[in-house]
Amino acid sequence: MESLIAGIGDFISANQHWAGPILGLIVFGESLAVVGLLVPATALMLVTGGLIATGTLDPWIVLPWSIAGAVVGDAVSYFAGRIMGPSIMRRWPLSRHRQSVARARLFFRRYGTASIFFGRFLGPIRSTIPLVAGTMLMSNRKFQFANITSAIVWVPAMLAPGWAAAKGLGDLSAIHDSGWVLLGAAIVAASLAAAWIGYRILRGQPRRRRPARPSLG
């Protein structure tokens, strides 16, 4: 994973005109249900933030593409759930991620529209919440409002740590391949830590109380 992140970082650094479309496509993939679990978009966005800090990339190219990718990815998941209905949850590959789907359903039922906005920041359910919203026939207008506003906030938030780190490190052009690998490893570790925090938050959600059994006495 570290070498993949380093390779993409090197490519977009050398081919700046491709940075926007590549980031948009990666963020789009990460926003899709199940597929998002396999795409290291968060780590790559942190690297991109570092490249923006050093002036290697133009933020006004990266930001629109990344926001568009996030919005379209969530919209595709939402409409897939709306068209296919709850039965999609019982089909492969979602049938192999029942626990994650159950958490997303509980989170959506508890927070409604707000779950679309804040769910984007929670790794374990980020790519599943839009699908759940679609299967539960959430209003398209409400969904798209939360989808767009959350993407506008989420993209800069993901770029910011890399930007701040690069400001502290200085010129990234002086970092060799081994340095990129170490930086990538640190970013992956930070991403996993964020996912773990999200997982703990979800586990902390109150469960539905079972009705009390009638007393026999």
Domain residues of the chain, as ranges? Answer: 2-203
Average pLDDT over the chain, rounded to whole?
A: 78
- Answer whether residue 178 shows pLDDT above 70: no
DSSP secondary structure letters along 32-88 = STTGGGG--HHHHHHHHHHHHHTTSS-HHHHHHHHHHHHHHHHHHHHHHHHHH-GGG
At residue 140, the pLDDT reads 94
Nearest of 149, 137, 43, 36 to residue 93 by alpha carbon: 36
How far is residue 63's CA from residue 65's CA, in Å, rounded to a whole number? Answer: 6
Query: pTM of the full predicted structure?
Result: 0.74
86-90, 139-143, 199-203, range with the lowest pLDDT: 199-203
pLDDT tens for each residue of 69-85: 999 999 999 999 999 88
At residue 167, the pLDDT reads 75
pLDDT tens for each residue of 146-163: 999 999 999 998 898 888
Residue type, 94: L
At residue 8, the pLDDT reads 78
At residue 77, the pLDDT reads 92
DSSP type of residue 92: T
Q: CB atoms < 10 A from the CB of 196, how many?
A: 12
At residue 138, the pLDDT reads 94
Q: Quote the Cα angle for 49-193-102, to 5°.
A: 110
Nearest of 126, 183, 120, 173 to residue 148 by alpha carbon: 120
Higher pLDDT, 151 or 164: 151
Max CA pair span of the chain: 78
pLDDT tens for each residue of 24-75: 998 998 888 767 767 777 788 888 888 888 888 888 889 999 999 999 999 9
- Answer whether residue 207 shows pLDDT above 60: no
Residue type, 81: G
The residue length of the chain stands at 217
